[in-house]
Amino acid sequence: MQKTAVAHLFLSMLFLAVFPLAAPAEESVDTDRLRNEMVETQILGRGLTQPRVIEAMRKVPRHLFVPESWRAQAYEDHPLPIGMGQTISQPFIVAFMAAALDLKPDDKVLEVGTGSGYAAAVLAEIAGSVYTIEILEPLAEKARVLLAELGYERVYVKTGDGYLGWPEEAPFDAMIVSCAPDKIPGTLLEQLAEGGRIIIPVGEAGGVQKLVKGIRQQGRLSITEAMNVRFVPMIHAPAAPSVSPSVGE
């Protein structure tokens, strides 16, 4: 080999050692761009403008909360499978439900249906603390590990029956339910603080459900309907009490 060729090879190796290929950085920049585009088109473009919700949606790395095989679609306008028959909701629905709760920085929030942990991370960027329950242990454990790795110290994950709530930590200022019961569980109402807000899909499994918002006033829920949605069914104890979501009650 000629001396000039050897010199060029040595210089090339030295360049790679000092200036390594920047594939991870390029991927990070790309996901940042996709996340900002998601916010602009899917969130702001549909009229949601709450500053702290928008900031949270821009910040939380949604692609880390979906399986690697689906990450190319993480910022698209639809739900994605996360395993065990469960899904991560489309970005707009997560933002809409968070905005509907009118969260304050010191609010204590209960989430039923942890799933991937994405909504819990969004809520943690807005509220004071988040207590989230997942009935499927593998999903709960995976979310717990990821949320801890991302530094969400004020998110507490519990494996259990969300229909029963988290009585040891009640009352809660707000509740968000990411799975659909046929009626609003009375156990959740009991754990909602006076003036507290709940947003929850209600309806039959496999069909179109109503996303409703309730505010606890003098021990009862004053309910308004938001939109038609499709959520996975809520797995619960059949014997638990419930209340019907009568509009304007």
**What tokens were used for 231?**
């959520």
83 pairs with which residues across the strands?
86
Active site residue 89: yes
Per-residue pLDDT tens digits for 172-211 = 999 999 999 999 999 999 999 999 999 999 998 778 899 9
210's enclosing H/E stretch is strand 209-217
Architecture per CATH, domain 77-243, reads as 3-Layer(aba) Sandwich (3.40)
What's the pLDDT at 206? 76
Are the C-beta atoms of residues 97 and 199 closer than 8 Å to each other?
Answer: yes
User: For 150, what's the count of Cα atoms within 13 Å in the CB-facing half-sphere?
Assistant: 23
- Per-domain residue ranges of the chain: 77-243
Per-residue pLDDT tens digits for 202-242 = 998 778 899 999 999 988 899 998 899 989 889 865 544 44
The mean per-residue pLDDT over the stretch 87-97 comes to 96
Whole-prediction pTM value?
A: 0.83
One of 12, 28, 89, 129 is an active-site residue; which one?
A: 89
172-163-130 Cα angle (round to 5) = 35
